[in-house]
Amino acid sequence: MTRGRHEEAVGDFLPLPNATFHILLALRKGEKHGYAIMGEVDRLSEGRVRLGPGTLYGAIKRLLADGLIEESDERPDPTLDDERRRYYRVTAIGERVCAAEVDRLRSLLSRAVGRRPSLGET
């Protein structure tokens, strides 16, 4: 039986492209539309990562296809928001992939600063 990309093992997605990782981080705190994702990435990275629309929506398209995020069916009150906006949220597999990337980067950083990883780290 052939598995879809979204059913692959978490490690099959790693390492994550920079934009993909930052989008997943931005969505871990809740659903957001594209412009809000861009703002959250800017905030989380302290202005060091800025996603342009082409990069953002290209990455969102891949994340949707891979099953790491999904479009939300819920919409805010139309009087408070533009009804054309699409809202996205991280999926369970997206959460696991994001956590695995955090662990991978943590391990890499520990090696870069010269300390041996503690038990349970790779």
pTM here is 0.81
15-19, 78-82, 99-103, 110-114: which has the minimum mean pLDDT?
Answer: 78-82
CB distance 37 to 53 below 8 Å: no
56's CB contacts (< 8 A; 6+ apart) are: 19, 23, 34, 37, 38
pLDDT at 7 > cutoff 60: no
pLDDT at 3: 45
